[in-house]
Amino acid sequence: MPSDKAQPAIVLVRPQMGENIGAAARAMWNFGLDRMRIVAPRDGWPNSRAVAMSSGAGRLLDEAQLYDDLPGALGDCTYVFATTARPREMTKPVYSPERAMQLAAEKLAAGEKVAVLFGPERAGLENDDIARANAIITVPVNPDYASLNLGQCVLLVAYEWMRQTGDVVHLSDAPGPKGEWATGLEIEKLAEHYEQRLDEAGFFFPPEKAEGMQQNLRNLWSRMRLTRADVQMLHGIMRQMVRWKERG
């Protein structure tokens, strides 16, 4: 059975290839979505190629709802997004996948039922399909090659859904391996250590370029985002190199 968690319905409108339906199911499953609706698939339903491509998401396909037309698939929905890469002469709000899924989460939390439409592989949604949507989702892509595979498009939207509703830890917020990033003072002492030893070794040459070389070295430390363990290791490397030189 589908999960009880509120989520948008993913509606595939007249999909042409079973493999792409399976890829869409796999993308949904990756990011916590399990409510697929299929409208008038070209090759009928069920489709063995969809199951083969779903890679473990076959249960999602087993529970997918089949409709003869789009109005039937949207009968219980209160807000509908339509995905398209082509500009349309329609007075509808246009959102990025990120903003669209933020809005979807807000509407679902308020008790609404949300759907996202994806068109057939060859040409995407028709204007009549989009006319039934409240808003458009457009992905910023290369204008010279704006066509996205059905599975890829579902993946982008599903990923943004997970970002809005899941416990995603962004890299900039992640702790270090031991939860201890190096402090500014520790980085400063590391830089001073290396500058001192490299100066003694005659690295900063010629003299007129020394200041710029030191700045480049400081920039290197700041770009690396070091942990305290990293700093200790780098100090140790330099100390060992100096001892090795002195022994020689």
Q: Kindly report the pTM of this predicted structure.
A: 0.69
**Domain 9-168 part of CATH 3.30.450.20:** no
- For 18-32, what is the mean pLDDT? 93
- 85 confidence band (pLDDT: 50, 70, 90): confident
pLDDT of residue 83: 93
Q: pLDDT > 90: what percent of the chain?
A: 46
pLDDT of residue 157: 96
- Reported as a single tens digit per residue, the pLDDT across 124-154 is 898 889 888 889 999 877 777 767 789 999 9
Burial class of 64 by CB neighbour count within 10 A (0 to 12, 13 to 18, 19+): buried
Q: What is the topology classification, in CATH, of domain 173-247?
A: Helicase, Ruva Protein; domain 3 (1.10.8)
Outline which parts of the chain fall under CATH 3.40.1280.10.
9-168
pLDDT of residue 173: 45
- Reported as a single tens digit per residue, the pLDDT across 178-221 is 557 777 788 888 989 999 999 988 999 898 998 888 888 877 87
Residue 203: how many CA atoms within 13 Å on its side-chain side? 14
Q: Taking the CA atoms of the chain, what radius of gyration do you get in angstroms?
A: 27
Give the Cα separation of 124 and 84 in Å (integer).
Answer: 7
- Reported as a single tens digit per residue, the pLDDT across 146-178 is 677 899 999 999 999 999 887 555 444 454 555
Asked if 11 contacts 138 with a C-beta cutoff of 8 angstroms, the reply is no
